[in-house]
Structure 1
Amino acid sequence: VGMLVDNTIVMLENIYRHQLDGESGLDTGTRAAAEVQSAIIASTSTNLAAILPFLFISGMIGLLFRELIVTVSSAIVASMLIALTLVPALAARVPLSEPGKLRLWLDKGMDKLRHLMGNMTNKLLHSRLLRLLLITSMLAALVPATQTFFSVKQDFLPKMDEGRISIYIRADTGVTLDVTDGYVKQLESIAARLPFVQSIFTTSGGYVFGRSQYESQNNASLIVQLSPLSERKLSSYAWIKKFNKIVEGRRLAGVSIRAHVSGIRGIPLGRGSDEISLRVQGSDPDTLDAIAGNIVTALHNIDDIRNITSSSEEQRQEIKIEIDRERAATLGLSAEQIGEAIRLAVTGLVISDYFEGGHSFDIRIKLPEADVNRIDLLKSVLIEHTGENRQPVYLADVARIHLIRAAPDILRENQQRFVEVSASLKQGISSGEIEQQVQNSLRTIVLPEGYGIYDAGISKTLQEGRDLSAILLGLALFLVFTAMAIQYESLTNPLVILLGIPFTMIGVTIGLKLTGLNLSMPVWLGLIMLAGIVVNNAIVLLEYIELQRKQGLALNAAITEAVRLRLRPILMTTLTTIVGLTPLANAWGDGGEMLKPLAVTIISGLSFSLLVSLVMIPVLYQLFHIRR
């Protein structure tokens, strides 16, 4: 909203200035529009050039910000068309009204400010020492600001409190569903008595992940939804702390309980909700389990990590049947016949059907459900054979049957088996600051040949986001420069404007430090948008300098006059953008945390860009044009 009025402000201010000079009639709008038309088109082009590359980005970043970019781009184009057509047509027909006391007071204050800026610019342009001091000071501030910017804690996305808490329960292997359900009921009771609970969704005997559901009688999960953030005084992390304290007091034996804040709904960053996800890939299951155990041990040495689990930890009993092929061949039996007999015993055989109420029902014969897992009964399964010797053959005669422990799921990626170790972070810990600690702990683990550890969690996403953001920022600067070069048919003025952009990093760093925000994708998006926005003031200023020089003014006089006369529109466009972003910067309402870093980045960078536009740009322009 703040950016949409920028073009109109530039146009109206120029028309208003012509009217103050005594001009009237419809030609006033035409003359005033002609003076700023080029600047409005150039500033709109640079805004679009900076953010449109986002439309060609796929993956998580494209999913998050595509609608925002389309909305902003469309609105900016519409505002340009209105400013170039409707605004001058209407403004020229509105007569200049008699100024009131407030306007006279504001105009008087603006005149003093213009006079002050004009004198300061004039002194700066005529003093080599002041110019050298200015450039040296700005460079001296830019270097530590950039270093501080990259030392800020890093996250892929800001931490958001949607009030959704996941509680995972895992009882000892072999417990019945009734025992697991008993644990669940106790935890449900604890959660329900805590404040601000809106709903509890329970899955007993397994868990639900996305559209998939997994059955396991010793597993369960609770999804607790708290009230909206505006209606509660307790954060999700504080709620979990209270919950864990009560659970620890119960001293529940034979059960593992993990509670953590769920991520943003619809934005999966791994197989689960944990920030850390390390995968060990290889061929042998036992070796994978051993390496995963070493990783779990290494992660336990990092203080800021909790809820460490491995997909190989949970194992269940399976009945393994190994066929003695030589014995089976002697008796005239094939593996297919033996397998058919086992299938018949376990899953049964449909022998007929019957109809009732217009529906067909299968009639199936099989072992009773309770007997399927009994090894002694499986050994006595009779195998039908067609050999000459019609003596009965039992499964125990041709196979060895025994119990083994095995993982409930076989996980594969790119046709390679893997075991996953996951963990979550303590409150207030960013993904970026824990990333290096995890990597250091993994260096102590010796891997056999053919095995590898790779990151599949938030660290991987964070690195991809950083790399892509750097590419997009570089592309934005290049496209902004190209758009200005085409508009000006010159490289000098675009280069002057482009050189002023890096100094806005000083303001951005100050803003992030003052608000305590982490470096995340919305910050990078704000930087990219800022690259297109901060050049607007410089474009408006340089356009008027060029106009004054064409009318015969000397270089320094043209620069001073441009700073003096373009002060009002530069202040107005900057302030409207800042005010328009203030609600976002305050994160009012649920979900406001997502775009707060973007708003803070633009506000702080744009505020500092006033100094760059009104002080640095005139000096840089003089340096590039003094010998021309």
Structure 2
Amino acid sequence: MEKLTRIKPLIMLIFIGGLVATVLMFSIVPTGFIPEEDQGYFFIIGNSPSNSSLNYTRKQVEDINQILKDVPEMESYLGIAGNSFEGNSYNKYLFFGRLKPWEERPNSNQSVFALLRKLNADLKAKMTGSRAVAVNAPAVDGLSATGGLEFQLQNRGGLPMDTMITVAQKYMEALNQRKELQNIFTQFTFDTDQQEISLDRDKINALNIDVGEVLQTLQTYIGSNYINDFVFSNRQYRVYAQVAPEHRANPSDISRFYVKSRNGSLIQLSNVVAIQEINYPPTLTHYNVYPSIKIQAAPASGYSSGQAIKAMEAVAKETLPNGFGYEWTGSALEELSAENSTILIFALGFVLVFLVLAAQYESYIDPTIIMLTVPLSTLGALFAIWFRANLLQVGGFWPIISNDIFAQVGLLMLIGMASKNAILIVETANQFRDLGMNVTKAAVEAAKSRFRPIMMTSLSGIVGYIPLMTAAGAGALSRWSIGTVSFGGYLIATILSLAIAPILYIVIKTFEDKILS
């Protein structure tokens, strides 16, 4: 310890370098919100071609049933044709898959993340008649229907639907080129063959027909029309007027329908209406008033949700023309809303501990010495995240560790754990000074005398975080985050506090004695 006191300028340079490195690490470490977990179930979302029938979609469901029955980790599954999280449609289908309990899936390659990777590869290779994507359950129920990111492309300029569809397709093509993203898809059906009925209003007026009568007739014949209720056997029934299905199966059947004019004569509907074939989306969606198309994606292996969000925003900036914008929804929206509060929360925790220490010591000098060691623990925590994400998890199927909400809880914990070591050194050094030692001698003797208590408590805490770092089963990713941050931060704080805290005590106390006094 005496040798370190002879190179105080070098130690202070290392300390300042550590502060700068801490700030830089915040920009380097990948960010996230709430890590996705292996919750024991997943979904498969599928779209058949736009003009396919419900029977065709049922055939696609049967094909996926054949794929899932060969998966040993599956406990049960259910496929529904004609349904999706975005509404019902003849060309959509949805699967709910339940995995076996975690104790029956002890290996990492039996986790939901490994299963989703394999299953998506099988779906891409074998499902040539439709597009199907297997997705994880949402990290938080209620934020979104599935895991991943939800991007709402908005038509804010009132441009034609064809233009919006073209923009969405080009945007998705550009997203597929980004290495940060995978499983890019949309549940929006871009087009389908439809029959559009238009009224010849000039001919309707010439034949003395009421326009409302024409519309009412079309609704009754092609759709249905409520008439009244009646009671039979003490039960109430509704009566609807509707043409039998076999008489309205083809567009040409409209020539067999008649509408009554104002003078009571019957006019063929085909004389006053025209049928035109069009190609248009069957369902239009809006988000915050504007017409929108929801595009979903997931972070690729080795990337966090924060990196995936930045990639999608960068592509949007490059590809979206004037008149189009976007908004985030689901967990991505919550992540962006919370990212600016991280530094504020950490700063408030830092200030709170500082004020408590200032009240205890009745001085601002000792708390300043103690709190200056805290950023070094943050450096260790951020380095631990970076090391595990970029070196230990490369090429794996697990979501990478990131600076998510659980890691931030660990950073707040480190404020107290890191300051504890400095408190022991500062308090003991003050006691030695009261016995007549000078500043340097007091700091050196305090570090020596407190070395064993600091190492005992620190090592017991560090070892206690290892089960969190190696957790498995339900909630494993959340425990990885908080365990990695606490382990790395506490380890670096213990090593550096023994070396830097005495030097900071010497420098700041000397400054206080010579300048402030």
Question: TM-score, structure 2 length as denominator?
Answer: 0.84
Matches within 5 A, 1:428-577: 428-445=302-319, 447-448=321-322, 450-456=323-329, 461-516=334-389, 517-550=401-434, 553-577=437-461
The alignment partner of 1:222 has SS state of strand
Residue 290 in structure 1 maps to residue 166 in structure 2: yes
Change (3 A) 1:556 1:301: closer
Matches within 5 A, 1:138-287: 138-144=15-21, 146-148=23-25, 150-207=27-84, 209=85, 214-232=87-105, 233=107, 234-244=110-120, 246-247=122-123, 250=126, 252-264=127-139, 266=141, 268=143, 272-275=146-149, 277-282=151-156, 283-284=158-159, 285-287=161-163
The alignment partner of 2:87 has SS state of strand
What are the superposed Cα offsets for residues 111-150 of structure 1, whole Å, 9 maximum, x if unpaired?
A: xxxxxxxxx2x554xx4x3222222233345544653553
The residue identity in structure 2 corresponding to 1:366 is Q
Query: Which residue of 1 is the match for residue 284 of structure 2?
Result: 410
What are the superposed Cα offsets for residues 2-25 of structure 1, whole Å, 9 maximum, x if unpaired?
A: xxxxxxxxxxxxxxxxxxxxxxxx
Q: What is the alpha-carbon distance in structure 1 between the residues aligned to residue 268 and residue 179 of structure 2? A: 57
Q: What is the alpha-carbon distance in structure 2 between the residues aligned to residue 340 and residue 413 of structure 1? A: 32
The alignment partner of 2:90 has SS state of strand
| Stretch moving more, 601-610 or 307-316 | 307-316
1:610 to 476, 483, 494: 494
Query: Which residue of 2 is the match for residue 131 of structure 1?
Result: 8
Residues 351, 365 of structure 1: 8 Å contact kept: no
What are the superposed Cα offsets for residues 87-124 of structure 1, whole Å, 9 maximum, x if unpaired?
A: xxxxxxxxxxxxxxxxxxxxxxxxxxxxxxxxx2x554
What are the superposed Cα offsets for residues 194-250 of structure 1, whole Å, 9 maximum, x if unpaired?
A: 21111102111222x3xxx72212211212222244422323343345445555665
The residue identity in structure 2 corresponding to 1:200 is Y
Residues 324, 400 of structure 1: 8 Å contact kept: yes
Query: Which residue of 1 is the match for residue 269 of structure 2?
Result: 395
Count of matched residue positions in the alignment of Structure 1 and Structure 2? 495
Change (3 A) 1:437 1:246: closer
Change (3 A) 1:163 1:342: same
Change (3 A) 1:560 1:243: closer
What are the superposed Cα offsets for residues 467-519 of structure 1, whole Å, 9 maximum, x if unpaired?
A: 22122222222232233333333322222222211112332244224433333
Residues 278, 421 of structure 1: 8 Å contact kept: yes
Q: What is the alpha-carbon distance in structure 2 between the residues aligned to residue 394 and residue 474 of structure 1? A: 78
Residue 592 in structure 1 maps to residue 469 in structure 2: no
Residues 431, 458 of structure 1: 8 Å contact kept: no
Q: What is the alpha-carbon distance in structure 2 between the residues aligned to residue 456 and residue 253 of structure 1? A: 31
The higher radius of gyration belongs to 1
Change (3 A) 1:331 1:497: farther
Query: Which residue of 2 is the match for residue 422 of structure 1?
Result: 296
The alignment partner of 2:135 has SS state of strand
The residue identity in structure 2 corresponding to 1:396 is S
Change (3 A) 1:466 1:351: closer
Q: What is the alpha-carbon distance in structure 2 between the residues aligned to residue 401 and residue 247 of structure 1? A: 39
Q: What is the alpha-carbon distance in structure 2 between the residues aligned to residue 619 and residue 546 of structure 1? A: 14
Q: What is the alpha-carbon distance in structure 2 between the residues aligned to residue 253 and residue 602 of structure 1? A: 47
Query: Which residue of 2 is the match for residue 89 of structure 1?
Result: none
The alignment partner of 1:404 has SS state of strand
Q: What is the alpha-carbon distance in structure 2 between the residues aligned to residue 555 and residue 274 of structure 1? A: 56
Q: What is the alpha-carbon distance in structure 2 between the residues aligned to residue 513 and residue 253 of structure 1? A: 40
Q: What is the alpha-carbon distance in structure 1 between the residues aligned to residue 483 and residue 123 of structure 2? A: 40
Residues 25, 379 of structure 2: 8 Å contact kept: no
Matches within 5 A, 1:21-170: 120=1, 124=4, 127=5, 129-144=6-21, 146-148=23-25, 150-170=27-47
Matches within 5 A, 1:318-337: 318-337=194-213
Q: What is the alpha-carbon distance in structure 1 between the residues aligned to residue 341 and residue 255 of structure 2? A: 60
Residues 225, 242 of structure 2: 8 Å contact kept: yes
Residues 43, 134 of structure 2: 8 Å contact kept: yes
Residues 175, 181 of structure 2: 8 Å contact kept: yes
The alignment partner of 1:206 has SS state of coil
The residue identity in structure 2 corresponding to 1:316 is T
The alignment-based identity, stated in percent, is 22
Residues 353, 363 of structure 1: 8 Å contact kept: yes
Query: Which residue of 1 is the match for residue 259 of structure 2?
Result: 383
The alignment's C-alpha RMSD in Å is 3.2
Residue 341 in structure 1 maps to residue 217 in structure 2: yes
Residues 353, 360 of structure 1: 8 Å contact kept: yes
What are the superposed Cα offsets for residues 152-199 of structure 1, whole Å, 9 maximum, x if unpaired?
A: 333333343334332222222232222211221121122111211111
The alignment partner of 1:160 has SS state of coil
Q: What is the alpha-carbon distance in structure 2 between the residues aligned to residue 352 and residue 463 of structure 1? A: 53
Change (3 A) 1:333 1:565: farther
The alignment partner of 1:364 has SS state of strand
Residue 300 in structure 1 maps to residue 184 in structure 2: no
Query: Which residue of 2 is the match for residue 582 of structure 1?
Result: 466
Q: What is the alpha-carbon distance in structure 2 between the residues aligned to residue 246 and residue 563 of structure 1? A: 61
Change (3 A) 1:379 1:589: same
Residues 202, 221 of structure 1: 8 Å contact kept: yes
The alignment partner of 2:38 has SS state of coil
The residue identity in structure 2 corresponding to 1:157 is I
Change (3 A) 1:560 1:429: closer
Q: What is the alpha-carbon distance in structure 1 between the residues aligned to residue 117 and residue 496 of structure 2? A: 47
The residue identity in structure 2 corresponding to 1:522 is F
How far off its partner does 1:253 sit?
A: 4.6
Change (3 A) 1:424 1:625: closer
Change (3 A) 1:559 1:445: closer
Q: What is the alpha-carbon distance in structure 1 between the residues aligned to residue 23 and residue 451 of structure 2? A: 29
Residues 298, 308 of structure 2: 8 Å contact kept: no
How far off its partner does 1:305 sit?
A: 3.6
Query: Which residue of 1 is the match for residue 242 of structure 2?
Result: 366
The residue identity in structure 1 corresponding to 2:133 is R
The alignment partner of 1:594 has SS state of helix
Residues 173, 315 of structure 1: 8 Å contact kept: yes
